[in-house]
Structure 1
Amino acid sequence: MKVIKSVGFNAANFEEKAMLEHFSRRSFSKYIKQLIREDIKRSKAEKALKSKEKETQPDVEISKPVEHTPVNPQTVPQPITWTPDSVSPVRKFNFK
Protein backbone atom coordinates (compact mmCIF):
# COMPACT_ATOMS: atom_id res chain seq x y z
CA MET A 1 0.00 0.00 0.00
CA LYS A 2 1.42 3.36 -1.00
CA VAL A 3 0.86 6.51 1.01
CA ILE A 4 1.36 9.76 -0.86
CA LYS A 5 2.29 12.98 0.92
CA SER A 6 2.43 16.14 -1.11
CA VAL A 7 4.67 19.10 -0.40
CA GLY A 8 3.98 22.57 -1.72
CA PHE A 9 6.63 25.14 -2.59
CA ASN A 10 6.07 28.84 -3.20
CA ALA A 11 8.22 29.78 -6.22
CA ALA A 12 7.88 33.47 -5.28
CA ASN A 13 9.59 32.85 -1.92
CA PHE A 14 13.40 33.08 -2.25
CA GLU A 15 14.19 30.24 0.20
CA GLU A 16 11.59 27.88 -1.22
CA LYS A 17 12.68 28.67 -4.78
CA ALA A 18 16.26 27.78 -3.77
CA MET A 19 14.96 24.46 -2.38
CA LEU A 20 13.18 23.70 -5.66
CA GLU A 21 16.35 24.39 -7.62
CA HIS A 22 18.43 22.30 -5.21
CA PHE A 23 16.60 19.04 -5.81
CA SER A 24 15.34 19.70 -9.35
CA ARG A 25 17.91 17.28 -10.85
CA ARG A 26 17.20 14.49 -8.33
CA SER A 27 14.38 12.14 -7.64
CA PHE A 28 12.36 14.13 -5.12
CA SER A 29 10.91 11.00 -3.51
CA LYS A 30 14.31 9.35 -2.97
CA TYR A 31 15.78 12.60 -1.70
CA ILE A 32 13.03 13.12 0.89
CA LYS A 33 13.19 9.48 2.01
CA GLN A 34 16.98 9.81 2.49
CA LEU A 35 16.50 12.96 4.59
CA ILE A 36 13.87 11.22 6.72
CA ARG A 37 16.15 8.16 7.24
CA GLU A 38 19.02 10.45 8.33
CA ASP A 39 16.68 12.30 10.69
CA ILE A 40 15.52 9.03 12.25
CA LYS A 41 19.14 7.88 12.77
CA ARG A 42 20.04 11.23 14.34
CA SER A 43 17.00 11.11 16.64
CA LYS A 44 17.87 7.59 17.78
CA ALA A 45 21.48 8.60 18.44
CA GLU A 46 20.34 11.63 20.49
CA LYS A 47 17.95 9.48 22.53
CA ALA A 48 20.68 6.91 23.18
CA LEU A 49 23.07 9.66 24.27
CA LYS A 50 20.48 11.19 26.63
CA SER A 51 19.71 7.75 28.04
CA LYS A 52 23.42 7.08 28.60
CA GLU A 53 23.89 10.48 30.28
CA LYS A 54 20.93 9.78 32.54
CA GLU A 55 22.40 6.41 33.57
CA THR A 56 25.80 7.92 34.40
CA GLN A 57 24.41 10.78 36.48
CA PRO A 58 24.33 9.90 40.17
CA ASP A 59 21.06 10.08 42.01
CA VAL A 60 21.32 13.24 44.02
CA GLU A 61 18.84 14.05 46.70
CA ILE A 62 18.19 17.74 47.01
CA SER A 63 17.78 18.77 50.60
CA LYS A 64 16.49 22.03 51.93
CA PRO A 65 19.07 24.78 52.37
CA VAL A 66 20.96 25.07 55.63
CA GLU A 67 19.89 28.04 57.71
CA HIS A 68 22.76 30.24 58.79
CA THR A 69 22.70 32.40 61.86
CA PRO A 70 23.71 36.02 61.33
CA VAL A 71 27.23 36.90 62.40
CA ASN A 72 27.64 39.33 65.28
CA PRO A 73 30.33 41.82 64.20
CA GLN A 74 31.57 42.09 67.78
CA THR A 75 32.46 38.38 67.93
CA VAL A 76 34.32 38.30 64.60
CA PRO A 77 38.10 38.48 65.12
CA GLN A 78 39.47 41.75 63.85
CA PRO A 79 42.76 41.93 61.99
CA ILE A 80 45.77 43.01 64.07
CA THR A 81 46.91 46.46 63.13
CA TRP A 82 49.99 48.11 64.48
CA THR A 83 52.29 50.99 63.77
CA PRO A 84 56.05 51.16 64.40
CA ASP A 85 55.30 53.27 67.49
CA SER A 86 53.07 50.60 69.03
CA VAL A 87 54.32 47.51 70.79
CA SER A 88 54.55 44.50 68.50
CA PRO A 89 54.85 40.83 69.47
CA VAL A 90 58.38 40.78 68.03
CA ARG A 91 59.51 43.72 70.18
CA LYS A 92 57.91 42.16 73.22
CA PHE A 93 60.21 39.12 72.95
CA ASN A 94 63.44 40.85 72.04
CA PHE A 95 66.42 38.53 72.79
CA LYS A 96 69.50 40.77 73.10
Structure 2
Amino acid sequence: MKQIRSIQKTLNSPYAAGLIVVGKWGAQTKAAIVTVEKGAKGNLTWILQAALYLEGYTLGSLDSVFGKGTESALYKFQKARSLSADKIAGKATFTEMFAA
Protein backbone atom coordinates (compact mmCIF):
# COMPACT_ATOMS: atom_id res chain seq x y z
CA MET A 1 0.00 0.00 0.00
CA LYS A 2 1.46 3.33 -1.07
CA GLN A 3 0.30 5.20 2.03
CA ILE A 4 2.10 2.78 4.32
CA ARG A 5 5.27 3.01 2.23
CA SER A 6 5.05 6.80 2.59
CA ILE A 7 4.59 6.49 6.35
CA GLN A 8 7.60 4.17 6.58
CA LYS A 9 9.76 6.52 4.49
CA THR A 10 8.69 9.49 6.59
CA LEU A 11 9.42 7.67 9.84
CA ASN A 12 12.88 6.77 8.53
CA SER A 13 13.71 10.40 7.84
CA PRO A 14 13.68 12.61 9.91
CA TYR A 15 12.74 10.23 12.75
CA ALA A 16 15.47 7.61 12.02
CA ALA A 17 13.09 4.68 12.62
CA GLY A 18 15.18 2.25 10.57
CA LEU A 19 12.14 0.63 8.96
CA ILE A 20 12.35 -1.55 5.88
CA VAL A 21 10.01 0.10 3.39
CA VAL A 22 7.74 -2.76 2.36
CA GLY A 23 4.32 -1.11 2.34
CA LYS A 24 2.76 -3.40 4.93
CA TRP A 25 1.55 -2.38 8.36
CA GLY A 26 3.23 -4.37 11.08
CA ALA A 27 4.52 -4.25 14.63
CA GLN A 28 7.69 -2.33 13.72
CA THR A 29 5.79 0.37 11.85
CA LYS A 30 3.27 0.67 14.68
CA ALA A 31 6.06 0.95 17.24
CA ALA A 32 7.77 3.69 15.21
CA ILE A 33 4.66 5.89 14.86
CA VAL A 34 5.06 9.32 16.38
CA THR A 35 2.22 11.41 17.75
CA VAL A 36 0.72 13.95 15.36
CA GLU A 37 -1.30 16.73 16.94
CA LYS A 38 -2.56 20.25 16.30
CA GLY A 39 0.25 22.47 15.05
CA ALA A 40 2.21 19.61 13.43
CA LYS A 41 3.47 20.13 9.88
CA GLY A 42 4.98 17.84 7.26
CA ASN A 43 4.55 14.58 5.41
CA LEU A 44 3.05 12.58 8.26
CA THR A 45 0.41 15.27 8.74
CA TRP A 46 -0.33 15.25 5.02
CA ILE A 47 -0.70 11.45 5.05
CA LEU A 48 -3.09 11.75 8.01
CA GLN A 49 -5.09 14.41 6.16
CA ALA A 50 -5.25 12.33 2.99
CA ALA A 51 -6.39 9.24 4.92
CA LEU A 52 -9.14 11.23 6.64
CA TYR A 53 -10.21 12.70 3.30
CA LEU A 54 -10.35 9.24 1.71
CA GLU A 55 -12.48 8.07 4.64
CA GLY A 56 -14.98 10.80 3.69
CA TYR A 57 -14.17 13.43 6.30
CA THR A 58 -14.18 17.11 5.39
CA LEU A 59 -11.13 18.91 6.71
CA GLY A 60 -10.46 21.78 4.36
CA SER A 61 -7.31 21.60 2.29
CA LEU A 62 -4.60 18.97 2.27
CA ASP A 63 -1.89 21.41 3.24
CA SER A 64 0.40 19.37 5.56
CA VAL A 65 -0.60 21.59 8.50
CA PHE A 66 -2.59 20.08 11.37
CA GLY A 67 -5.11 22.83 11.98
CA LYS A 68 -8.69 23.13 13.14
CA GLY A 69 -10.16 21.27 10.14
CA THR A 70 -7.82 18.31 10.57
CA GLU A 71 -8.47 18.27 14.30
CA SER A 72 -12.25 18.21 13.76
CA ALA A 73 -12.08 15.46 11.13
CA LEU A 74 -9.75 13.39 13.32
CA TYR A 75 -12.11 13.74 16.29
CA LYS A 76 -15.04 12.50 14.17
CA PHE A 77 -12.97 9.58 12.85
CA GLN A 78 -11.88 8.60 16.36
CA LYS A 79 -15.45 8.73 17.69
CA ALA A 80 -16.78 6.73 14.73
CA ARG A 81 -14.16 4.02 15.30
CA SER A 82 -14.63 3.93 19.10
CA LEU A 83 -11.12 5.22 19.72
CA SER A 84 -10.16 7.67 22.43
CA ALA A 85 -11.40 10.89 20.83
CA ASP A 86 -8.46 12.99 21.98
CA LYS A 87 -7.83 14.76 18.64
CA ILE A 88 -4.29 13.35 18.63
CA ALA A 89 -3.15 10.82 16.03
CA GLY A 90 -0.97 8.21 17.70
CA LYS A 91 -0.41 4.48 17.42
CA ALA A 92 -4.08 3.48 17.90
CA THR A 93 -5.39 5.98 15.35
CA PHE A 94 -2.80 5.15 12.68
CA THR A 95 -3.32 1.43 13.28
CA GLU A 96 -7.07 1.84 12.80
CA MET A 97 -6.45 3.73 9.55
CA PHE A 98 -3.80 1.51 8.02
CA ALA A 99 -3.79 -2.00 9.51
CA ALA A 100 -5.54 -4.31 7.09
**TM-score between the two structures when normalised by the length of structure 2:** 0.22
Q: Choose 1 or 2 for highest CA Rg.
A: 1
Using the size of structure 1 for normalisation, the TM-score is 0.22
Q: Which has the higher contact order (CA 8 A, sep 6+)?
A: 2
More helix by share: 2
